[in-house]
């Protein structure tokens, strides 16, 4: 998974995590381009779908993460 993070880091600087209990308790991770002046959290690129909250901790080590209306 580390290799995948390195590829994502080249284009994205901020990730938003959207937890959806009604879709099988999954975490949908959206990316926002590094060169954007302002991020529109309604229009990110879906990068991955995670199934464990501990995977969010890994994201926090590599990116700025927005989750549950707060920055992590």
Write down the domain spans for the chain: 2-71
Computed over every residue of the chain, the mean pLDDT equals 87
Nearest to 72 by CA among 51, 53, 45, 52: 53
Q: To 10 degrees, the CA torsion angle through 20, 53, 35, 44?
A: -10
Predicted confidence at residue 61, as pLDDT, reads 87
Strands (DSSP E) contained in 1-72 are 12-20, 26-33, 45-50, 64-67, 70-71
Predicted confidence at residue 3, as pLDDT, reads 57
Per-residue pLDDT at 47 exceeds 70: yes
Mean pLDDT of 53-62: 88
Mean pLDDT of 29-56: 88
Per-residue pLDDT at 1 exceeds 90: no
């Amino acid at each position: 998974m580390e290799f995948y993070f390195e590829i994502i880091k080249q284009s994205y600087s901020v990730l938003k995590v959207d937890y959806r209990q009604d879709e099988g308790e999954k975490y949908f991770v959206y990316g926002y381009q590094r060169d954007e002046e302002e991020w529109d959290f309604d229009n990110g690129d879906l990068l991955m779908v995670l199934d464990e909250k501990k995977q969010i901790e890994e994201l926090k080590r590599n990116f700025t993460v927005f989750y549950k209306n707060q920055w992590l």
